[in-house]
Amino acid sequence: MPTTEEKPSDAKCCCPCHYMIGLLVVAFGLTFLLRTLEVITYHTAGIIWPIIVILAGLKTIFGSMCKCCSAK
């Protein structure tokens, strides 16, 4: 009889990939806050925010490839 340990159903996965969307939302908000405080220019903010949206989209598309969560 193999001794594999199963995660309890209420246990949270602690993979760093699950924090990615939250970090992207924070970066998105921080971009506009820095623009409002005139720390970065409109041009720089105009480059940063589409990149953040693209990264969030890629995370959503490839998010199902998390090895710990897809092994159920």
23 contacts 33 by C-beta, under 8 angstroms: no
Q: Give yes or no for residue 18 having a pLDDT over 70.
A: yes
pLDDT at 72 over 60: no
Token code pair at residue 69: 């969560």
pLDDT at residue 33 is higher than 90: yes
Q: How far is CA 69 from the centre of its chain?
A: 15
pLDDT at residue 23, as a whole number:
86
- pLDDT tens for each residue of 42-71: 999 999 999 999 988 888 787 766 667 665
pTM of the model: 0.63
Domain spans of the chain, in order of start: 16-62
Cα(48)–Cα(57) distance, integer angstroms: 15
